[in-house]
Amino acid sequence: MKRILAFLIIGVALYSCEKIWLPKPPGYNRIDLPPHEFQSLESGYPYQLEYSKHSTVEADSFNLAEKNWINLNYKGFGAKVHLTYKTIRDKNDFKTLSNDAFKLTAKHQIKAYGIEEGVLVTPNGYSAVVAELTGEVPTQFQFFVTDSTSHFLRGALYFETAMKNDSLAPVIEYIKIDMTHLMNSVKFDQ
């Protein structure tokens, strides 16, 4: 009886194990990106711009934040675009602010595979510098827009997640388009 029971158990085990089950390979979450839509920033700032309708404007909560610093929060993507504004009082201010912007970008060289920078003129006649960083860096896209005499606006994209940037690539590209539109729509008060 014990022998029959043993053969029966082995037979059932062999029969039930015909199919080899493998774990599913790792995949990526599906990210549905909405169409790009823009709205104007409310008045009360020394600059105007158009930002994404899929983000919300929040006051910057950083302890050193100034009155005209804001965050554009993309809650659905776990991303923020930090915008910092400074008034230029003289040539030394401009030099200091632009050097600081380049230093902030350069700090990411440790983890960045590459940093591509470009200089351009916006449709409103302002100078802009764009930095695109690749690699596992906390900020993938930065810029500053200035009239070189009175106004300096800097923007940087940050994510609130530890995900790998290759997983975030579609969202990064989406927000870079929004930031490019924002940068090209900047107008400073006179």
Whether 86 is covered by a domain: the verdict is yes
Model-level pTM? 0.79
Alpha-carbon distance of 131 to 168, in angstroms, equals 18
- From first to last of its 190 residues, the chain has per-residue pLDDT tens of 778 877 777 776 666 655 666 666 666 566 789 999 999 999 899 999 999 999 999 988 877 778 899 999 999 889 999 999 999 999 899 899 988 887 877 776 666 667 788 999 999 999 999 988 777 777 788 999 999 999 999 999 988 876 566 678 889 899 999 999 999 999 998 7
Would residue 24 count as lying in a domain?
no
Q: Do the domain assignments include residue 28?
A: no
CATH number of the CATH domain containing 116: 3.40.1000.10
In-domain check, residue 113:
yes
Residue 30 placed within a domain:
no
Residue 101's domain spans which residues? 38-188
Residue 9 lies in a domain: no
Q: Which residues of 150-174 are buried (b: 16+ CB within 10 A; e: fewer)?
A: ebbbbbbbbbeeeeebeebeebbeb
In the chain, how many domains are there?
1
What is the phi-psi region of residue 44: left when phi exceeds 0, alpha when psi lies from -120 to 50, beta otherwise?
A: left
Which residues lie closer than 8 Å to 44 by C-beta, 6 or more apart? none
